[in-house]
Amino acid sequence: MKKHRTAHDGQGSRTCRTGRAAAGAMTIALLTAATSCAAHAGDGTIAAAELKAIGAIEARFQSYNIEMVEVTGGRFWKPYPRTAGAFDQRDRYSARPPIDLTNARLRLLAASLSPAYLRVSGTWANATFFADAPGRPPPGFNAVLSHEQWRGVVDFARATDAEIVTSFAISPGSRDADGRWQPDQAQHLVDATRALGGRIAAAEFMNEPTLAAIGGAPAGYDATAYGRDFRIFHEWMRRTAPETLILGPGSVGDAPSPSGPGITTRDLLAASGSGVDRFSYHHYNTISPRCGGRDDPAQALSEEWLARTDATLRIYQALRDTFEPGKPIWLTETADAACGGGRWDRTFLDTFRYLDQLGRLARAGVQVVMHNTLAASDYGLLDEATFRPRPSYWAALLWRRLMGTIVLDAGRAAPHDLHLYAHCHRAMGGAVSLLAINTSRRASHALTLSDSADRYTLHAARLQGPTVQLNGKTLALTADGRLPRLGARATPAGAIRLAPATITFLVFPNAANPACLARRSGL
């Protein structure tokens, strides 16, 4: 049988020939005679037709944030300088004008990830005043969102097939003389959205109530005050916008992390009682050096690092089961590192976490995952100055085109550094898409395919480089600003090799998987 090779086969073969002794006994045990260097995961065979359905996710599962401060303009996390060196925490913010939501490139790239949810929120939203015209914020607020700026959000959402998700101001200016939250500002925003022909699909009361002390809430704000305010919010929402999903609590920091002390989610839920339609939480693997975190790219492909997604989810699943049993879970804000992202989040290295997190959470039943951000600071999928795609954007685009809403059981790979996730294809009835992530920096792994497949392999010459290749071709926008063709490489049935530190999507168009024939799985 003729052997089809990607542009990375040569590199992987050299790694396999010269690295066997260094790879150790485990790697040697995985080698078989099926190819010149093929390692089998478990029994090594992917029988796409036989993979069983284990769940389903929303069509807008893969979503993103545009921070409120991006819309209004203001001081946000300053991108790291291109040159290495010590970072001065006194210089962690930079002023920026409002994001240009009419930009044709931004709209094209956002629309290519749709359908999606667009969350306009973040810490700055907690103290943002909605006004008919620009101006200085009144007492008790820190920023102004003008009617025209919000019109830009509504128009952008309409143009890109994105549903708006937001949260509301909860700062001292939004309260009565007794400190109780008042819905006047929120009502103004809801009314304006309707008048503009838009709608708010879902809303959290506030952003990250577990960190209320640093998030714009009144001094001394605690779980009791949150419970009182949430009940006011809940009653108002059910009356004025019953079509809008109530998300909550939107917590962060309950997992062991450097988020700092705050109010616990357990206390928040005990004080507020039930009432959300979707249980929401936030997760970052760490915080960036801007906020005192440690930036260590050496751990980026480790199981410990990638499994932090699971550890945080288990905490919030348990809280959901106790206080809001049966409610679907949404992750409404996530990235590698909070406070703008780490130094390497804009490189190919973070693409592994991005896709592995989507795979893990879909398999676990999480319904929506919102990446922070679409185009701001180092964790943006797009460069904030040029709106050019970063490596994780190309990975996001492949997920969007290939991975549908029906989740399949791909089994567990024998080597711990080979991660497998399977879904029905987004558009082709009966077809199956498999995501295979080789997180080993040195060892090749292999799979045996029971049927022919279309192969898409992502690779980079430098893991911490700003570019990525698909099947050996560097991905970039065309000269006229369009997306390039994401071409697959035809791969026959039999053993294939996954080179070190590569990400591969395999599409089985002829699988005729019964779970994928039942209905179209993506749109």
pLDDT surpasses 90 at 521: no
pLDDT in tens, 482-512: 999 999 999 999 999 999 999 999 999 999 9
According to the per-residue pLDDT averaged within each range, which of 1-5, 64-68, 211-215 is highest? Answer: 64-68
Query: Where does residue 79 fall: left (phi above 0), alpha (psi -120 to 50 degrees), or beta otherwise?
Result: beta
pLDDT surpasses 90 at 162: yes
Distance CA 250, CA 262 (A): 14
This prediction has a pTM of 0.90
Pairing state between β 200-204 and 116-120: unpaired
pLDDT averaged over the chain?
A: 90
Distance CA 505, CA 457 (A): 6
pLDDT surpasses 50 at 450: yes
pLDDT in tens, 16-57: 333 333 333 222 222 222 333 333 334 578 999 999 999 999
pLDDT in tens, 291-312: 988 878 999 999 999 999 999 9
- Banded pLDDT at 519 (limits 50, 70, 90): low
- Banded pLDDT at 414 (limits 50, 70, 90): confident
pLDDT reported for residue 1: 36
Average pLDDT over residues 92-112: 97
Distance CA 272, CA 275 (A): 8
Helix (H) or strand (E) holding 314: helix 308-323
pLDDT surpasses 50 at 409: yes
Distance CA 13, CA 444 (A): 8
pLDDT reported for residue 518: 74
Higher pLDDT, 22 or 327: 327
Taken in order of first residue, the domains within the chain and their CATH numbers are: 45-54+409-516 (2.60.40.1180), 57-81+91-406 (3.20.20.80)
pLDDT surpasses 50 at 252: yes
pLDDT reported for residue 91: 78
Average pLDDT over residues 151-167: 98
